[in-house]
Amino acid sequence: MIVEGKNIVCELLNSNQKIEKILISNKKNEDINKILDKANRQGIKVEQVDANTLDKIAGTKAQGVIAFIPNFKYMELEDILLEAKRKGENPFIVILDGIVDPHNLGAIIRTCECAGVHGVIIPENRACEINGTVYKTSAGAVAHMKVAMVTNLTRCIQQLKKEGVWVYALEAGNKDIYSADFKYPTALVIGSEGKGVSRLVKDNCDEILSLNMYGKVNSLNASNAAAIAIYEVVRQRSK
């Protein structure tokens, strides 16, 4: 997998992510020199090429640096639950039902990492996988977030409920999200950009919650809705 951009590569170097090789521009600057220094200290292979070559490989403006990394390693649901246990916290999980836009996926993962979410769950089919665009949009947060890919979201939700996790779907026209109590083990389900949360998934959730809408437009972008809901959980748990 190819990941480009100074900030993203810096995050990769600061994480436990394996980096196979880094290409940097032969036109040095302070940021490139810092990346070069970190890579050398970690024993990572670095090659210098011209900026045009970098841009051609990346298919976009590479900001003078590209990293080659293995395909993303997905976790198991148990790994996410163990992460919460390790931190001594009630589980906080975000489930994404059919998010197909890599920019939305990256933005949601970035919010999750900033908010201390223990893990993100995505379905195997009809959804975006972790790719270079997701890495870039997440500002490198993917490298620090546990993401599980499951074959069946309904079975996953049923398993979470057996583990004592309350599962809430987010969709317009239902119970006010601010009336829910998120201090207990919690999973939030965020639906796809066009269709929302699928019927079978909703049927298996404990409750369906909504964000209040006061304008003429009655919906938010999936990543914006996710951010508001995620930080309501953070607000309640920080009291």
Q: Domains in the chain, start-ordered, CATH in brackets?
A: 2-68 (3.30.1330.30), 77-237 (3.40.1280.10)
Q: Over 80: is that where the pLDDT of 16 sits?
A: no
The band of 146, judged by pLDDT with boundaries at 50, 70 and 90, is: very high
Q: What is the pTM of this model?
A: 0.90
Q: How much is the mean pLDDT over the chain?
A: 91
Q: Over 80: is that where the pLDDT of 108 sits?
A: yes
Using alpha carbons, select from 161, 182, 185, 192 the residue that is nearest to residue 96: 192
In the block, residue with structure tokens 């437009």:
217
Measured in degrees and rounded to the nearest 5, phi and psi for residue 46 equal -130, 135
Q: Over 90: is that where the pLDDT of 239 sits?
A: no
Distance CA 101, CA 128 (A): 6
149, β-bridge pairs: 122
